[in-house]
Amino acid sequence: MGQAFVFPGQGSQAVGMGKALAETYPQARAVFAEVDDTLGQKLSALMFEGPEAELTLTANTQPALMAVSLAVIRVLEAEAGLDLARDAAFVAGHSLGEYSALAAAGSLSLADTTRLLRLRGSAMQEAVPPGVGAMAALLGLDYETGVAVAKQAMEEQGGGAVCQIANDNGGGQVVASGSKAAVERAMEIAKSKGAKRALLLPVSAPFHCALMQPAADVMADALAKVEIKAPKVPLISNVLAAPVEDAKDIRGLLVAQVTGTVRWRESVTYMASKGATLFVECGSGKVLTGLLKRIVDTATGVSIGTPADIDAFKART
């Protein structure tokens, strides 16, 4: 059975995430301690106890979600004998989860990943003033229709307005991102094109669109100074929806990802087409496992974020 290990992105965070792992496994505690030390902040306390409003700040959410994902990987290595190089056909992550995937595959160190995600979260937050941008889920549209809707909305707004498809999540779920007025217009157009629903998302900035170019520039500078090794498992890139293993290519794609579409539907379809039948979601929540059912109904998804999940995975192997 081909296995793909996948890593969640923003929206999967919840107060209490990782706490039971830390209480049960020294490997998880070690990951959280290294992240705390790297940031000079007790991020683990924020993850375990809240407050939620502080945890959901992008600069905190991004390294926090990665920390839980890496804690799961380290525990699986110790408790279930996991060896990604041997046991995984692919790794992939949704948006910030791509960094978690690279850290799990040995391409980035935990400390560098932590610093990069703190910077990425801050830079994305600061790229667009509050209230200028928006994101909206367009439910019931396929990707091609979503792209046409975003293009029409941008053209109708004119004046340098931005509207792009930020996420193609599969199962008729696409997300538009850009200038607030253009995104709101896209919601109206989407309904006229057959969308079941169109709703604004409670996000702090318009991610994965051209308005994020200042953040992409920040990440280009930061990634140029970080050692990136070839991953021990092929990474399915958000931007390409195809495997990438060359460190130089990974660097450029991580920069492009800031303003580019997260092609999750195509990424999952690709992995399934190459023999992946079990998708193991490592970290907080079950968002990617839920999306899997809408993309490839013949594949099996399991999510691992608690000691009970670890035990269940051990029982499978």
Q: 208 an active-site residue? A: yes
Q: The whole model's pTM is what?
A: 0.97
Q: Which of 44, 107, 208, 284 is the catalytic position?
A: 208
pLDDT per position in the chain (317 positions), as tens? 699 999 999 999 999 999 999 999 999 999 999 999 999 999 999 999 999 999 999 999 999 999 999 999 999 999 999 999 999 999 999 999 999 999 999 999 999 999 999 999 999 999 999 889 999 999 999 999 999 999 999 999 988 999 999 999 998 999 999 999 999 999 999 999 999 999 999 888 999 999 999 999 999 999 999 999 999 999 999 999 999 999 999 999 999 999 999 999 999 999 999 999 999 999 999 999 999 999 999 999 999 999 999 999 999 87
Domain annotation for the chain: domains and CATH numbers = 2-126+212-316 (3.40.366.10), 133-203 (3.30.70.250)
Q: 95 an active-site residue? A: yes
CB-based burial label for 297 (10 Å; 0-12, 13-18, 19+): exposed
- CB atoms closer than 10 angstroms to residue 23: 11
Partnered with residue 303 across adjacent β-strands are 281
Q: Which of 44, 69, 95, 177 is the catalytic position?
A: 95
d(CA 291, CA 265): 9
